Amino acid sequence: MKKIGILNHEISEVISKMGHTDSLAIGDCGLPIPDETKRIDLALVKDIPRFLDTLKAVLLELKVEEVIVAEETAKISPHIFDAIKKEVGDVRIILVSHEELKAELKKCKAVIRTGEQTPYANVILKSGVVF
Protein backbone atom coordinates (compact mmCIF):
# COMPACT_ATOMS: atom_id res chain seq x y z
CA MET A 1 0.00 0.00 0.00
CA LYS A 2 1.24 3.49 -0.90
CA LYS A 3 2.33 5.45 2.19
CA ILE A 4 2.35 9.05 0.97
CA GLY A 5 1.09 11.28 -1.79
CA ILE A 6 -1.96 10.79 -3.95
CA LEU A 7 -3.73 7.53 -3.17
CA ASN A 8 -6.04 7.57 -6.20
CA HIS A 9 -4.34 5.17 -8.59
CA GLU A 10 -5.63 6.84 -11.76
CA ILE A 11 -4.32 10.28 -10.80
CA SER A 12 -1.04 8.83 -9.56
CA GLU A 13 -0.60 6.88 -12.80
CA VAL A 14 -1.33 9.88 -15.05
CA ILE A 15 1.11 12.12 -13.15
CA SER A 16 3.84 9.47 -13.22
CA LYS A 17 3.51 9.16 -17.00
CA MET A 18 3.57 12.90 -17.75
CA GLY A 19 6.47 14.47 -19.57
CA HIS A 20 7.53 18.05 -20.17
CA THR A 21 4.62 20.22 -21.43
CA ASP A 22 2.01 17.46 -21.05
CA SER A 23 -1.15 18.78 -19.44
CA LEU A 24 -3.64 17.70 -16.80
CA ALA A 25 -6.91 19.46 -16.01
CA ILE A 26 -8.90 19.74 -12.81
CA GLY A 27 -12.50 20.83 -13.14
CA ASP A 28 -15.77 21.45 -11.44
CA CYS A 29 -18.55 18.88 -11.80
CA GLY A 30 -20.11 20.72 -14.75
CA LEU A 31 -17.04 20.93 -16.98
CA PRO A 32 -17.75 19.12 -20.26
CA ILE A 33 -15.01 16.53 -20.77
CA PRO A 34 -14.32 15.46 -24.36
CA ASP A 35 -15.03 11.79 -25.04
CA GLU A 36 -11.46 11.25 -26.24
CA THR A 37 -9.91 12.58 -23.01
CA LYS A 38 -9.44 10.33 -19.99
CA ARG A 39 -11.93 11.19 -17.25
CA ILE A 40 -10.95 10.66 -13.62
CA ASP A 41 -14.23 11.18 -11.83
CA LEU A 42 -13.88 11.99 -8.15
CA ALA A 43 -17.27 13.72 -7.80
CA LEU A 44 -19.17 12.17 -4.91
CA VAL A 45 -21.79 14.72 -3.84
CA LYS A 46 -22.11 18.50 -4.04
CA ASP A 47 -18.70 20.08 -3.33
CA ILE A 48 -16.99 16.80 -2.37
CA PRO A 49 -14.18 16.76 -3.15
CA ARG A 50 -13.54 20.47 -3.50
CA PHE A 51 -11.63 21.85 -6.46
CA LEU A 52 -8.98 23.51 -4.29
CA ASP A 53 -8.32 20.40 -2.19
CA THR A 54 -7.80 18.43 -5.40
CA LEU A 55 -5.52 21.12 -6.85
CA LYS A 56 -3.41 21.18 -3.67
CA ALA A 57 -3.02 17.38 -3.73
CA VAL A 58 -1.99 17.34 -7.40
CA LEU A 59 0.51 20.16 -6.89
CA LEU A 60 2.27 18.09 -4.23
CA GLU A 61 3.29 15.60 -6.92
CA LEU A 62 3.25 17.42 -10.27
CA LYS A 63 5.92 19.92 -11.30
CA VAL A 64 4.01 22.68 -13.07
CA GLU A 65 5.54 25.29 -15.37
CA GLU A 66 2.39 26.94 -16.70
CA VAL A 67 -1.28 27.18 -15.78
CA ILE A 68 -4.25 27.91 -18.03
CA VAL A 69 -7.33 29.49 -16.47
CA ALA A 70 -10.48 30.90 -18.06
CA GLU A 71 -10.95 34.67 -17.98
CA GLU A 72 -14.43 33.93 -16.62
CA THR A 73 -12.87 32.40 -13.51
CA ALA A 74 -11.21 35.71 -12.65
CA LYS A 75 -14.41 37.67 -13.35
CA ILE A 76 -17.13 35.41 -11.96
CA SER A 77 -15.32 33.41 -9.27
CA PRO A 78 -12.44 35.68 -8.24
CA HIS A 79 -11.94 33.80 -4.95
CA ILE A 80 -11.14 30.66 -6.96
CA PHE A 81 -8.79 32.59 -9.24
CA ASP A 82 -7.01 34.12 -6.23
CA ALA A 83 -6.69 30.69 -4.62
CA ILE A 84 -5.21 29.22 -7.82
CA LYS A 85 -2.66 32.09 -7.93
CA LYS A 86 -1.76 31.46 -4.30
CA GLU A 87 -1.31 27.72 -4.79
CA VAL A 88 0.81 27.92 -7.98
CA GLY A 89 3.02 30.73 -6.68
CA ASP A 90 5.26 32.26 -9.34
CA VAL A 91 4.14 29.87 -12.09
CA ARG A 92 2.99 31.68 -15.25
CA ILE A 93 -0.82 31.90 -15.58
CA ILE A 94 -2.33 32.17 -19.06
CA LEU A 95 -5.86 33.56 -19.29
CA VAL A 96 -8.05 32.29 -22.14
CA SER A 97 -11.78 32.28 -22.80
CA HIS A 98 -13.78 29.44 -21.27
CA GLU A 99 -14.41 28.16 -24.81
CA GLU A 100 -10.66 28.04 -25.47
CA LEU A 101 -10.07 26.24 -22.17
CA LYS A 102 -12.68 23.62 -23.12
CA ALA A 103 -10.98 23.14 -26.52
CA GLU A 104 -7.62 22.62 -24.75
CA LEU A 105 -9.11 19.71 -22.77
CA LYS A 106 -8.71 17.53 -25.86
CA LYS A 107 -4.92 17.84 -25.47
CA CYS A 108 -4.91 16.89 -21.79
CA LYS A 109 -3.70 13.49 -20.60
CA ALA A 110 -6.71 13.49 -18.29
CA VAL A 111 -9.36 15.66 -16.66
CA ILE A 112 -10.01 15.21 -12.96
CA ARG A 113 -13.69 15.91 -12.24
CA THR A 114 -14.37 17.14 -8.72
CA GLY A 115 -17.66 17.68 -6.89
CA GLU A 116 -17.09 21.45 -6.98
CA GLN A 117 -20.15 23.52 -7.80
CA THR A 118 -18.54 26.93 -8.08
CA PRO A 119 -18.78 28.41 -11.60
CA TYR A 120 -15.57 28.22 -13.66
CA ALA A 121 -13.56 26.32 -11.03
CA ASN A 122 -11.31 24.79 -13.69
CA VAL A 123 -7.60 24.79 -14.44
CA ILE A 124 -5.17 23.18 -16.86
CA LEU A 125 -1.71 22.41 -15.48
CA LYS A 126 1.23 22.09 -17.88
CA SER A 127 3.98 19.84 -16.63
CA GLY A 128 7.47 21.14 -16.12
CA VAL A 129 10.67 19.23 -15.45
CA VAL A 130 12.37 18.67 -12.11
CA PHE A 131 15.91 19.18 -13.41
Q: Say whether 122 counts as a known binding-site residue.
A: yes
Active site residue 20: yes
Q: Say whether 25 counts as a known binding-site residue.
A: no
Q: Say whether 28 counts as a known binding-site residue.
A: yes
Q: Say whether 98 counts as a known binding-site residue.
A: yes
Query: Which one of 20, 39, 79, 92 is the catalytic residue?
Result: 20
Q: Say whether 41 counts as a known binding-site residue.
A: no
Alpha helical stretches, state H, the chain: 9-17, 51-61, 71-76, 78-88, 98-104
Are residues 40 and 110 in contact, defined by beta-carbon separation less than 8 angstroms? yes
Are residues 95 and 27 in contact, defined by beta-carbon separation less than 8 angstroms? no
Annotated binding site for substrate: 28, 98, 120-122
List active site positions. 20
- In the annotated binding site, the residues are 28, 98, 120-122
